[in-house]
C-alpha cells in the first residue's frame, strides 16, 4: 500500500492550549423535559414524548407516549412563523450547552444563543462541502452596510436522518463597558458535532438575520427554532460559566541556584535571590537549569466551593494551600500532561506555597498555575510570559485518495486498547476499523481517514490511531454466534490473513470447523459486508450482524441498532432473528447461504 501521509500543524485551542476547563468534568444542569415549565409560553407544535424513531428516508418522526424527549411536530401551516420558536425562561451569558438531536429527512432548525446567534441544525447527511447553512454552521449575521456573513463548519460530521446525534457548544457572550458600548464580539469557543470539532474561536459580529433581537446584550434567553422542520431533542444540558474572581497578593519569592533542590534544603541555605513579585513568573530564575524557585503568599477565594488547580513546569514541584498539599509532580515537563489537584476552599484569603525544582536539563523552563471550578472558566494565576508558547503536536494524517489504504495499529475500543487492528480507508470517504484477533468490526466513519499522530510523532506513544471523522462504534465481536454463550471468546478463532481485490481486503479466519470469508466495502450510503461460511456445521450456525442495547425493525428490511445509533439494511426476503444476549440484543441470520447486509449511518 502507498500511504498518503499529510503532516500539518495542529494549532488548536482544545489541543495545544492549556487554559480551557478540561481537567474537571463540568456539572451541567439538565433542563427537564418531563414538562415544559422551563420555557416561555410554548406553542402547540412542541410535544413531550417517550420515544422517537425513523428511517433515513422518513420526513416525519414516529413517536411514542411518555416524557423525556422534546419533539417539534412541524407542519407547513407554521412555516416561517417565529412565534412557534421555543424560548427558555433562563437567560444566559457565557455558557456550555450539550444536547442530543434527531432530524427528519430534509429538516431544518437551529439553536439561538441569547436568542441572537444561531448554530444551525440541518439534515446535511452526505454533503461533501458544507456551507454555513449546514449542520453546525454559524448562520449569516447582519453586518453594517447590510452585508451578511456566515461560517461553514470545518467538516461535515452529520449522521443520517433518524439517528441520534450529539452536539457540544461553548459560547462566550459579547462584552460591554460601563456605558453599555460593546467592547468585544460574541464568540463561539468551540462547536462539536458527534465528537468532531467544527469551529474554534469564531467571533460573531452581530445577531443572526432571523434573531429575535437586533441589538446585543450581556444576557438573553436560549431559543430553539420551531418553524422550519421536524426534529427531536433529548439530554438538553447547560452550564453558565461565570468569570472566576480569584487573585494572588503579598507574593514573595526565593531563588536558589544549585544550592537547594527542595524546601528542606532551602531552609539550610541562603537564597541566591529573593524579593516581592506581583505574579508567579518563571523568569525570576536567571538560570535555565539546576535551580529551586519558591513562591509564597495569599490567594483570595470568592465563594465556598471545590477548586481544581492545574500546573505545568519542568522538573519536580508542589502546591500547598493552608499547609495542605494540593498537587505534586516529579519529572514533569512542559510538553507533557498537566498535574492537577482539587481541594475544598472557603471564601476569603488562604496561605499558599508553590515551588519547582528545575533539574531536567533537556526540558524547557517555564511554569504555569491555573484555577477553576465546575461552573467557571479556568484562569491563569501566573504571568503570561512565565509559560512559553506550547508547541502543539503536528497532525499526522493518512489519506485515502487515489486508492484504498490499510494501516495496522493499536486502537482504543470501549475503554480497551486492542493491539491487532487494521483500518481500511477508501477514496469514497467511507472507512472502517477491523479487529484481526476477533474478526469484528470496531467502528466505521466517513470523511477524512486516519489520525496517526500518536503512532509516529516523537516516540510514538501510545501507538494508537483514531478516526478523523465521526465514528459509529460497533460491538467488535466475531460474527459467528454460538450458544450457549456467557461471554465472547476468541479461544476457537484463528486469523488466516487476507487477499486483495481492487485494493480492498477479504479477511479469512476459522472458527472451530468453520472457514469464514469476510469482505467489507463502501456501497451507497455506507458499507456492505459480505460473509461466506463453509465447513461442517454451517447449516446450524448463526451469523451475528449487529448487537446493541436495542434493535428495532423499521420495515422493508431496515433495522435501527442501539437506540437509533446506526442502521442495518438486510436484503429483501431475508428474515433475521432478534434475541437477547448478555443484557443486549443481537440480530442474527443463518450461515447456510452467503450473507450480505449494509451498515448505514
CA-CA distances (angstroms) from residue 309 to 5, 145, 280, 471?
A: 38, 47, 14, 33
Q: State how far the alpha carbon of 261 is from the alpha carbons of 24, 272, 328, in Å.
A: 31, 13, 14
Non-local (6+) Cβ contacts of 456 within 8 A are: 396
> Is the Cβ–Cβ distance between 4 and 398 less than 8 Å?
yes
**SS3 label, residue 539:** helix
Q: Does residue 453 sit in helix, strand or coil?
A: helix
Cβ of 514: how many Cβ atoms within 10 Å? 18
According to DSSP, the residues that pair with 69 across neighbouring strands are 49
Residue with cell 450482524: 545
Q: Are 244 and 377 in contact (CB under 8 A)?
A: yes
Distance CA 575, CA 556 (A): 10
Number of other residues whose CB lies within 10 A of the CB of residue 143:
12
Task: Determine the pLDDT at residue 200.
Answer: 96
Measured in degrees and rounded to the nearest 5, phi and psi for residue 298 equal -120, 145
Omega within 30 of 0 (cis) for the link into 452:
no
Cell numbers given for 388: 512559553
Put residue 218 in one of left, alpha, beta given phi > 0 → left and psi -120 to 50 → alpha. Answer: alpha
Which residues have C-beta within 8 Å of that of residue 160, sequence separation ≥ 6? 56, 125, 525, 567, 600, 601
Q: Which pLDDT score is estimated for 491?
A: 81
Closest CA to 70 of 224, 215, 184: 224
Domain boundaries, the chain: 23-240, 247-386, 396-600
Angle, CA of 242, 244 and 248, to the nearest 5°? 175
| CA 406/CA 424 separation, integer angstroms | 5
Please name which of 533, 544, 522, 542 lies closest in space to residue 599, comparing C-alpha atoms: 522
The two domains 23-240 and 247-386 share their CATH topology (first three levels equal): yes
Cα angle, residue 129 at apex, residues 125 and 133 outer, rounded to 5°: 70
Closest by CA to 579, choosing from 548, 558, 555, is: 548
> Which pLDDT belongs to residue 24?
53
DSSP 471: P
- Does residue 291 contact residue 327 with C-beta atoms inside 8 Å? no
CATH of domain 247-386: 2.60.120.260
Q: How much is the pTM?
A: 0.85
- Between the CA of residue 267 and those of 70, 200, 260, 264, 462, what are the distances in Å? 64, 47, 9, 6, 41
Distance CA 359, CA 365 (A): 10
Query: Cα separation of 3 and 7, whole Å?
Result: 12
Burial class (CB in 10 A: 0-12, 13-18, 19+), 560: buried
Q: How is residue 455 annotated by DSSP?
A: H
Pick the closest to residue 538 from 465, 466, 480 (CA basis): 480
Q: Give every residue of the chain whose pLDDT is below 50, as ranges.
A: 2-3, 9-23
Cα Rg of the chain, angstroms: 28
State the chain's maximal CA–CA distance in angstroms.
88
* Beta strand residue intervals within 177-258, DSSP E: 182-184, 186-193, 196-204, 220-224, 231-240, 247-257
DSSP letter string, 80-147? T-GGGSEEEEEEESSEEEEEEEEEPTT-EEEEEETTTEEEEEE--TT-SS--TTSTT-EEEEE-GGG-
Which one is the CATH code of 23-240: 3.40.50.300, 3.10.20.30, 2.30.30.140, 2.60.120.560? 2.60.120.560
| Residue labelled with grid coordinates 537564597 | 271
Instruction: State pLDDT tens for residues 68-108.
Output: 999 999 988 898 888 999 999 999 999 999 999 999 999 99
User: Counting runs of H as helices and runs of E as strands, what totals does the chain give?
Assistant: 2, 48
Contact 70, 46 (CB under 8 A): yes
CA–CA separation, 70 and 46 (whole Å):
7
Q: By the 8 A CB rule, do 84 and 227 touch?
A: yes
Number of Cβ atoms within 10 Å of the Cβ of 21: 23
pLDDT digits (tens, 9 = 90+) for 454-492: 999 877 778 999 999 999 999 999 999 987 666 676 788
Residue 84, pLDDT score: 93
Amino acid at each position: 500500500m502507498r500511504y498518503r501521509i499529510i503532516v500539518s500543524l495542529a494549532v488548536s485551542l482544545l489541543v495545544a492550549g492549556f487554559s480551557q476547563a478540561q481537567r474537571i468534568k463540568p456539572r451541567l444542569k439538565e433542563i427537564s423535559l418531563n414538562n415544559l415549565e422551563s420555557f416561555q409560553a410554548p406553542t402547540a407544535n412542541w410535544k413531550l414524548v417517550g420515544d422517537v424513531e425513523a428511517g433515513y428516508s422518513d420526513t416525519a418522526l414516529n413517536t411514542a407516549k411518555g416524557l423525556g424527549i422534546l419533539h417539534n411536530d412541524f407542519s407547513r401551516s407554521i412555516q416561517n412563523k417565529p412565534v412557534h420558536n421555543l424560548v427558555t425562561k433562563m437567560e444566559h451569558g457565557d455558557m456550555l450547552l450539550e444536547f442530543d438531536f434527531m432530524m427528519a429527512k430534509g429538516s431544518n432548525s437551529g439553536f439561538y444563543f441569547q436568542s441572537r446567534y444561531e448554530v444551525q441544525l440541518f439534515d446535511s447527511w452526505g454533503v461533501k462541502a458544507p456551507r454555513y447553512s449546514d449542520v453546525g454552521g454559524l448562520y449569516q449575521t447582519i453586518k453594517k452596510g447590510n452585508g451578511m456573513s456566515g461560517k461553514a463548519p470545518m467538516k461535515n460530521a452529520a449522521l443520517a436522518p433518524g439517528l441520534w446525534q450529539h452536539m457540544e457548544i461553548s459560547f462566550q457572550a459579547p462584552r460591554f463597558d460601563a456605558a453599555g458600548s460593546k467592547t468585544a464580539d460574541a464568540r463561539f469557543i468551540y462547536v462539536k458535532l458527534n465528537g468532531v470539532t467544527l469551529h474554534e474561536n469564531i467571533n460573531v459580529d452581530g445577531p443572526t438575520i432571523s434573531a429575535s433581537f437586533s441589538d446585543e446584550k450581556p444576557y438573553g434567553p436560549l431559543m430553539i427554532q420551531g418553524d422550519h422542520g421536524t426534529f427531536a431533542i433529548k439530554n438538553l444540558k447547560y452550564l453558565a460559566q461565570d468569570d472566576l474572581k480569584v487573585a494572588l497578593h503579598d507574593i514573595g519569592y526565593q531563588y536558589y541556584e544549585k544550592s537547594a533542590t527542595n524546601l528542606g534544603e532551602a531552609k539550610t541555605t541562603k537564597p541566591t535571590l529573593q524579593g516581592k513579585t506581583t505574579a508567579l513568573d518563571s523568569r525570576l530564575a536567571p538560570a535555565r537549569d539546576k535551580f529551586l524557585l519558591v513562591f509564597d503568599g495569599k490567594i483570595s477565594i470568592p465563594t465556598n466551593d471545590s477548586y481544581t488547580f492545574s500546573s505545568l513546569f519542568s522538573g519536580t514541584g508542589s502546591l500547598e494551600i493552608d499547609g495542605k498539599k494540593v498537587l505534586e509532580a516529579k519529572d514533569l515537563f512542559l510538553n507533557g500532561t498537566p498535574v492537577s489537584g482539587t481541594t475544598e476552599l472557603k471564601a476569603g484569603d488562604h496561605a499558599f506555597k508553590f515551588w519547582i525544582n528545575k533539574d531536567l536539563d533537556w526540558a524547557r523552563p517555564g511554569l504555569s498555575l491555573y484555577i477553576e471550578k465546575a461552573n467557571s472558566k479556568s484562569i491563569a494565576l501566573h504571568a503570561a510570559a512565565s509559560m512559553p508558547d506550547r508547541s502543539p503536536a503536528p497532525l499526522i494524517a493518512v489519506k485515502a485518495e487515489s486508492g484504498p489504504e490499510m494501516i495496522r495499529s493499536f486502537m482504543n475500543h470501549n475503554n480497551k486498547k486492542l493491539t491487532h487492528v487494521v483500518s481500511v480507508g477508501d477514496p469514497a470517504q467511507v472507512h472502517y476499523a477491523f479487529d484481526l484477533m476477533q474478526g469484528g468490526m470496531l467502528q466505521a466513519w466517513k470523511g477524512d481517514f486516519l489520525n496517526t499522530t500518536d503512532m509516529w510523532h516523537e516516540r510514538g506513544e501510545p501507538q494508537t490511531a483514531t478516526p478523523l471523522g465521526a465514528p459509529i462504534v460497533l460491538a467488535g465481536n466475531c460474527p459467528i454466534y454460538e450458544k450457549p454463550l456467557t461471554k465472547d471468546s476468541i479461544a476457537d478463532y484463528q486469523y488466516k490473513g487476507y487477499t486483495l481485490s481492487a485494493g480492498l481486503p477479504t479477511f479469512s479466519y476459522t472458527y472451530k470447523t468453520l472457514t469464514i470469508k469476510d469482505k467489507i466495502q463502501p456501497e451507497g450510503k455506507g458499507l456492505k459486508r459480505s460473509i461466506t461460511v463453509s465447513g461442517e456445521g454451517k447449516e446450524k450456525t448463526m451469523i451475528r450482524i449487529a448487537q446493541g442495547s436495542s434493535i428495532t425493525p423499521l420495515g422493508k428490511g431496515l433495522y435501527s441498532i442501539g437506540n437509533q445509533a446506526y442502521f442495518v439494511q438486510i436484503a429483501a426476503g431475508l428474515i433475521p432473528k432478534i434475541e437477547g444476549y448478555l443484557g443486549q440484543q443481537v440480530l442474527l441470520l443463518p450461515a447456510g447461504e452467503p450473507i450480505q447486509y449494509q451498515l448505514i449511518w
